[in-house]
Each structure stands twice: as structure tokens, then as C-alpha cells.
Structure 1
Amino acid sequence: MYKNSTHTFISHDQTELFYQHWQSSSATENKKAILLFHRGHEHSDRVAHLVDELNLPEFDFFAWDARGHGESPGERGDAPSFSACVKDIQYFVKHIEAQYGIQEQDIAVIGQSVGAVLSATWVHDYAPKIRALCLASPAFDIKLYVPFAEPGLRVLSQLKGNFFIQSYVKSNMLTHDTERAKSYDTDPKIARAISVRMLLGLYDASARIVDDAQNIFVPTQVLCSGSDFVVHQKPQVEFYQKLPHPQKEFHILDGFFHDTLGELNREIALEKIRRFITQCFAQQYQAPDVLNADKIGTSCAIAEQLSSALPKKSFKNAFWELTKKNLKIGSIFSEGLKIGEKTGYDSGSTLDFVYRNQTESQNPIGKIIDRQYLNAIGWKGIRVRKQNIEFLLQKYADILAQKRKPIRILDIASGHGRYILDAVSQLKKQPDSILLRDYSAINVQAGQEMIAERGLADIAQFVQADAFDTASLASIKPKPTLAVVSGLYELFSDNDLLRQSLTGLSIAVAKDGYLIYTGQIWHPQQEFIARALTSHREGDAWVMRLRSQAEMDALVEEAGFQKVDQCIDEFGIFTVSVAQKR
């Protein structure tokens, strides 16, 4: 029924990862595929039995060995980060699309334990248009049994760096199937240890994904093992309850141990998966309806709540008023806080300070405050966003050069323009032109000075202009081939405003040109920012409405672009995506 073969694909950091392909002999006009993601410690051979047992002969099957597992390279049980493994999935899927001609809409994903968390994180962060997501015993919260084990590991990792811990899990805690338990004990490719870096990354990603599961817009089935000694059930339930898609299921499998899909009576679980996937494919793919998320839905409601004044005599109001006063006092000493209080914490001047990442205060107290301020998770994410913008700008400028097309760069809200000019300095081929625009005269002047300092005045210009003026954008000549919108759309809740900008860009950008755009899909300090920090817009509170990646991609697609690439920081806050003009 299936022809099995082994292959490798090149991931985002040029690492070759191993995978298996089971090609169906039941040829159909539209190819369909199921991707299998194994448990932690294991590898693709441990899920190979599912290919026949699921009895879905019209599907091709793919299963990888995650880096640090099985035949894939890397120290056993380790990876550069949990987010690197999530990005590996993105490259795996893109490889399958390119190599086998199978589209995202014709793919279903089955993940187990750690593989389930990786899968859920990928669907949340990258918003793929897959048909179904089946999660078996997702490891959102591992039972470590030792009191305060997780905070203790965090402290030790700060002191010692990365190190490894051995799994306490025995085979008889995983399954009642004695043959499968025996094979687990004797399998030389099982990675018995896991790095603390990966374990803590798993915890952080799990907390974020469970908290923000309302932004997973894919039909999802969760299978929960009723007698699981390895992971907790509560976050699985919480995750399921937040899922917004009407086609979702939650099943508790009584008596099942953690290896849900390798249990003695696994046909009970497999029948549910088989039915769910079959029914998801029985209807045409439908993209999530998220274009009006600014007017109705969870993100709208949260932003509305954060915009509302607190009762004056409440404890929360007193707390945030004290916080704002402390920031004002701190600004007396700290250059970073002074810039934020004066120009807004979302201003171009603030971002330039964050990009410079230096303690610029002249006194010791200010230097301490500056460093704490710059080390805030949001600002760390901003600096990673800058790196990702520079990486993607260089990547697609190189692609344009290889195609012998002009490199005409446009940034419609440049701030001081530092990130663009830094990226340009690394390009293999000098751009034909650089047009930077910003609404702020202060930013324009600073940017013009930076252009002059770098000797780019012959190809670069910086003008004052409105990023939401459709006609102004549409009239840009010559047509840019590489446009950038960074950190702008995140500041405005109104999707109609974004449509004005994207419509202008769609007209402006040359055919087959690229648009690099950023998003903010989650933030752990959303309330702090709304209650304590001021915006550049006349000192108003900085209330952010977080857009899911699915919403941001849908707006860009509506304007006539097609997403082709994406990066995200390891904290899961800021995305940088690339779309091509259709």
C-alpha cells in the first residue's frame, strides 16, 4: 500500500534534518498528506506503525526526526532553542510543498506529547492553512514531581548555562503494550536525556500557547490520556476551551497512559483521529474569518477593556498610578525613560534608543535603570525583530539580484531608519534606490543625517509622508520592488486604516515585488504597557490590540499579496513576514 523512503531537508540554519516518506499507492488528483510528530526522546520509527494502523490510504505520510533525535544531527535531546524546532516545522512543510506538490490546505498534522506542543506552537505562530490538527497528550505541563523543580532549573540554568537531565519516565509508565514498552527499553536511538534549554523552552511555549489558544484557527482534536503519569490534564482542558474553531473535539481516554498512540487499545484513539481527519477533508478548506477582528472578538474585547478607566478608588488603579509616577521619577535619572516620557514609548526616538542598546545615562542610577529597561522582554523582542528584518531584507534583495531585477527599497514608516540602513550596509549588491518615509519631522531629520553620515545620499532619500495615505503611496515612482512596514501596524487597532495603507502599497509595489511586514501576535506585558506607558500620539495611553498572525496575513492577502516567508523571536512576540505581489 505504501512505498517507504528516507530523505533529508535543509532547515532555516542550513541543518539537514532526517525524515521518512510513505507514498500512497492510491493515486488521487489532489495529493493529501498527514504529518506525524513524535514524542520527546523518540524518533520517526516510533510513529511508523500509525501509517498502516490509521487506515487512510488516500494520504501520503511524512514523519521527521526532530533535531537531536534519531537520525537527525545535534546533541541528543538538545536544540538551539524550542523556537528553532518550531521553525524547523515551517521549513519541513515548505519543503513538502515544493518537493511533492502538496499544498498546506491538503495537510493534516498529528503530534504527540512534545511533538503536539511543537505542532500547536507552529500553528499559532505561523498561521498555516492546514486542514486539521490532532494533538495526543500534549505536554503543556510535565509532572516533574520534585517540589519547585521548574524554578530551580531556571536558577541553575542561569548559573551553569545549558545542561542535561535524565528522564524519570519508564516504559511501563508510557503504555500497557508490553511489546512496545520492551522496544522502548531496547531502542538505541531513544534520547534518554533532555537539555534544560529545551525543557524550559517547552514550558515557556506551552504557557504562551495555552494562554493564547484563541488565536489558533484550525479544526483541532485533543486526545487526553486518562491515566497519564507524565503530563497534567488541566492545561489541555484550558487549551481546548479557548480554541475558537467550531470544529473542535476533546476526548478523555480512560485508562490510557501517556503514549496515547502507542497504547494497547490505541485503536480507540486512532478511530477518533481517522474520523476527524476524514470529516475535515470532506469539505472544502475555509480560511478563518478574521478580517473584522478589530470590531468583534477576543483581541477587540481585551483592547477595549484595557482602554477603559479603572475605578479611582480601586487597588489596581492605585497600583498603576504609582507605577506611572515611578516611571516619571526614573526619567529624571534615566535617558531611556526620559525619551519614552517625552516622545512616547512607541516613538521612533524610543525605538532608536532600544536598537542602540546602550546605557546612555550619565549617572550610575540612570545606567542601572537604562539596563533594566533595555532588558525588558518586549525590547529584547524588538531587537530580534530588527535582526529578522535585516535578514529577510538581505535574503530577498539577493533573490531580486539573482533574478536580475532592480532593488528599489521603500520603508513607509522608518522611524530614524537605522534598521533599514544597517541592513543595506550588509547587502551584496547596492540597491538602485532607497526611499524612507515617516510622518514625524523629528524622525525625518534624524534619518536624513544618518543617510549623510553613511554616504548614501546619492541613492537614498528621506521624506515626510503619511503611511496611511493611499494616494500618496500609490503614486510612488519608480515602483519599489522591496517594501517594508515595520512596527507600524501594531500601533493601530483599526483594520480599515491598515487597508488604506496596504491598498496603496499594493498599487505601488512592482509585480512580483516583495513586502516585508511585522506583526505582534502576543505580549506578556500588554496590561503594563496599556496602564503605564504613553504613546507618541499626544501622550495617550499606549493600548495595543494584538493581531493574530492569521489576521495579519489575511489583511495582506486581501490587498493582493501572498505570504512566502516568516521569522519570529524565541519569546513568541514579534513576527516578520514576507509576501509577494501577486
Structure 2
Amino acid sequence: MKKIFKKTMYILLFLVLGIVLIGLILAFLPTESRTHHVGISPEKAAEMRQAFKEPHHTFTTSDGETLFLRRWNPDTLSPARKDIAVLIFHGITAHSGAYDMAGKTLAAGGYTAFGLDYRGHGLSGGNRADSPSKERFTADLAEAVRVIKGLGFPKVVVMGHSLGVVSAITVANAIPTELTGLILLSAAYERRKEAEVVAPSLFQKAKIVASSILRPSHQAVEYYREGMTVTQDPLFNFTYTLRFVTMIPVKDLKIGQDMHIPILVGIGDKDELFTIEKAREMYDRIPGNQKEFMIMKETYHAKIPVESWQQCVAWLDKTYVK
């Protein structure tokens, strides 16, 4: 009996060691990129942040990380707009610099605009394309809102584009009484089928799981879909950690019933990722009657003309400037 037990234990031990060994091989086996994008290290991001000369702010989060806020200033501040700031949350792979046209258009309309680089994105600190948890991600967003309020803007309207819509709804649910409004652009709960991200093969899935278990801070999930444009901007991220891309269940994300603020939902008539019908479904799920739906003409998902940003400015004027 003892011999059988001992033999069984040895077999189990070898099986466990074999699984661990296979996991280690999969976790550290190089993967060929489909985007061939070359990003930067956290150290390089810090170096570029130090050298950045245009208007911006940095702040230290409650857990000690440095985050970057780009700023666009109007030439003059009218009394009706001087207390209002618009905070832009960027989409996946991007950073605040990709929204320069939006920031400049808002500033031309008389509004002070800010763009947050998420932790691990753009010129912010942190492990690239990563966040330790949903709680930490939410805290970063809320702290950015409070930093802007501390700069003398008691009214903060959050503008989210694509993944930024997820960010906007997340922070709105976290601090509902601290926001003045929401602008949710180019998003829905369901993509067009032809625009789905290319699913990894079974082997690639095994590599992702092994990497995420054995080194969760490693960027193992590449964002890639057929026909997408891959910029050479090194501040973009195209490969993420698994915990970042799975931390918020998008389809379950809803705006709380107690949200008593104006909300604008906008979608481009030529958006390649989301249909107008699906964006309207998201709009219909927003409670209350302080909401508006906007279709932006000649607007693609990531190619948004100045006229569409001007529509957002017009909504801000109509909603907040008396």
C-alpha cells in the first residue's frame, strides 16, 4: 500500500513539474507581432515626460505613480465658461496626444480641455499597457477629476471616446456627484461582427494564459483587427496585459440610476466598429431625461473631423452657457 501511495505521489509530482515547465516555456516563448509596432519603456516615457514643453500637468496618485495630463487653453476665458473643464479619456492603444484636434477645438470654443494618459499609456508612468486592478484604474480616473477641480475648475465634463466611454462610465459610477456632464463618443455594447478583434489561436491562448499566471505584468495580448491602421507613434500601445483587457466587463457596464447630469451620446455615420443602432441601444439604457443622441456626419471610428468636435462644443454651449 505504501509503495502504491509513493508511486502515485511521484507520478503526481512529475505531472505538476511537467505542467509548470510547459507553462514556463509558453510564458517566455517569444511571439511574433502582427502589428510590428515598437513601443517604449516606462523609463523612456518618464524621459519624454520631463522633456515635454507644451501645457500640461503631472500628478502623483495615491499609490505613488506619476500620471500625465495634457492641457489645451482657450485664448480667452468667458465668465460663463471659466469654471468648466472638459477631461478627455482616450481610446484603447492611444494616448491624449491623439486627441489634439479635439482639445484645440474645445479650446477654440472657449473651454479649457485636459487629456489624461492612463497609467502605462502615453507619457504617464507605470508598467506599459497595464493596470494592477479595476479598483486602481477607477481610482486613477477619479483622482484626475479631483486634480482638475483643484486647478480651479469646479465643473468637470468627462468626454470619453471608444474605450474612453468605458472609463467615463466607470468614473461616473464611482463619483456621481463630482461630475457635471458626460460626452460618450464612438462606442456601444456590441461591435459590428466584421470589426471584431482577431481571436487568438488555441496555441496563442495557451501562451496568454500561461504568461498571465506566471508573469501577470507582461504584455501578452495584442490588439489587432483586420484592416486596422497601425501608427508608428511609439507612445501608442498595441500589446496589453491580460488583466487590463479583462478588468471591466463592458457589456455589464451601466450608468447608475442616480446620475442627474446631462449626457451626450455620439456616433459617426461611418464608424467601422459600431453601428448607429447599437450606439442608440446604449443611449436608450441611460436612465433619466437629461440626455441627447448625436450622429456625426462623415465621421469614422478614429477619424473624426473638426466639425464633429464642434458639435460637441455646440452641445456644451447649449447645455451649460446661459
TM-score (norm 2): 0.69
Aligned to 1:40: 92
After superposition, the Cα gap between the structure-2 partners of 1:144 and 1:233, relative to the gap in structure 1 and judged at 3 Å, is farther
**1:59-138 aligned within 5 A:** 59-98=111-150, 100-103=151-154, 106-138=155-187
Aligned to 2:241: 195
Which of 223, 228, 231 matches 1:167? Answer: 223
After superposition, the Cα gap between the structure-2 partners of 1:278 and 1:186, relative to the gap in structure 1 and judged at 3 Å, is same
8 A contact 1:43–1:65 mirrored in 2: yes
The alpha carbon displacement at 1:196 in A equals 1.4
SS in 1 for 2:264: strand
After superposition, the Cα gap between the structure-2 partners of 1:161 and 1:218, relative to the gap in structure 1 and judged at 3 Å, is farther
Aligned to 1:27: 77
**Alignment partners' CA distance in 2, 1:84 and 1:141:** 26
Amino acid at match of 2:152: G
After superposition, the Cα gap between the structure-2 partners of 1:169 and 1:215, relative to the gap in structure 1 and judged at 3 Å, is farther
The alpha carbon displacement at 1:137 in A equals 1.2
Question: Does 1:207 pair with 2:251?
Answer: yes
The alpha carbon displacement at 1:124 in A equals 1.7
8 A contact 2:74–2:108 mirrored in 1: no
**Alignment partners' CA distance in 1, 2:85 and 2:253:** 25
After superposition, the Cα gap between the structure-2 partners of 1:218 and 1:169, relative to the gap in structure 1 and judged at 3 Å, is farther
After superposition, the Cα gap between the structure-2 partners of 1:11 and 1:201, relative to the gap in structure 1 and judged at 3 Å, is same
Aligned to 1:273: 312
Amino acid at match of 2:232: T
Say what the alpha-carbon RMSD is for the aligned residues.
Answer: 3.1
**Alignment partners' CA distance in 2, 1:15 and 1:234:** 40
Question: Does 1:258 pair with 2:301?
Answer: yes
8 A contact 1:23–1:61 mirrored in 2: yes
Question: Does 1:7 pair with 2:57?
Answer: yes
**Alignment partners' CA distance in 2, 1:233 and 1:148:** 31
For structure 2, the residue ranges without an aligned partner over 5 or more in a row are 1-52
SS in 2 for 1:272: helix
**Alignment partners' CA distance in 2, 1:207 and 1:68:** 24
Which of 216, 219, 225 matches 2:262? Answer: 219
8 A contact 2:142–2:174 mirrored in 1: no
225-234 or 54-63, which deviates more: 225-234
Aligned to 2:291: 248
8 A contact 2:87–2:156 mirrored in 1: yes
SS in 2 for 1:269: helix
**Alignment partners' CA distance in 1, 2:165 and 2:89:** 7
The alpha carbon displacement at 1:187 in A equals 1.0
For structure 1, the residue ranges without an aligned partner over 5 or more in a row are 174-180, 284-582
Aligned to 1:17: 67
Amino acid at match of 2:209: L
8 A contact 2:161–2:187 mirrored in 1: yes
**1:490-501 aligned within 5 A:** none
SS in 2 for 1:168: coil
**Alignment partners' CA distance in 1, 2:297 and 2:109:** 29
8 A contact 2:71–2:113 mirrored in 1: yes
8 A contact 2:72–2:104 mirrored in 1: no
> Which protein shows a greater Rg?
1
**1:147-546 aligned within 5 A:** 156=209, 162=216, 163=218, 164-169=220-225, 173=228, 185-202=231-248, 204=249, 206-210=250-254, 213-231=256-274, 236-253=279-296, 256-259=299-302, 262-263=303-304, 266-283=305-322
**Alignment partners' CA distance in 2, 1:107 and 1:44:** 17
Aligned to 1:483: none
The alpha carbon displacement at 1:139 in A equals 6.0
The alpha carbon displacement at 1:119 in A equals 0.9
Amino acid at match of 1:107: V
The alpha carbon displacement at 1:227 in A equals 4.1
Which of the two has greater helix per residue? 1
Amino acid at match of 1:236: A
SS in 2 for 1:201: coil
The alpha carbon displacement at 1:230 in A equals 3.7
**Alignment partners' CA distance in 2, 1:232 and 1:213:** 24
Identity percentage of aligned residues: 23
SS in 2 for 1:75: coil
After superposition, the Cα gap between the structure-2 partners of 1:28 and 1:257, relative to the gap in structure 1 and judged at 3 Å, is closer
SS in 1 for 2:94: coil
**Alignment partners' CA distance in 2, 1:64 and 1:95:** 11
**Alignment partners' CA distance in 2, 1:122 and 1:23:** 24
TM-score (norm 1): 0.40
Aligned to 2:18: none
After superposition, the Cα gap between the structure-2 partners of 1:227 and 1:49, relative to the gap in structure 1 and judged at 3 Å, is closer
Aligned to 2:11: none
After superposition, the Cα gap between the structure-2 partners of 1:60 and 1:148, relative to the gap in structure 1 and judged at 3 Å, is same
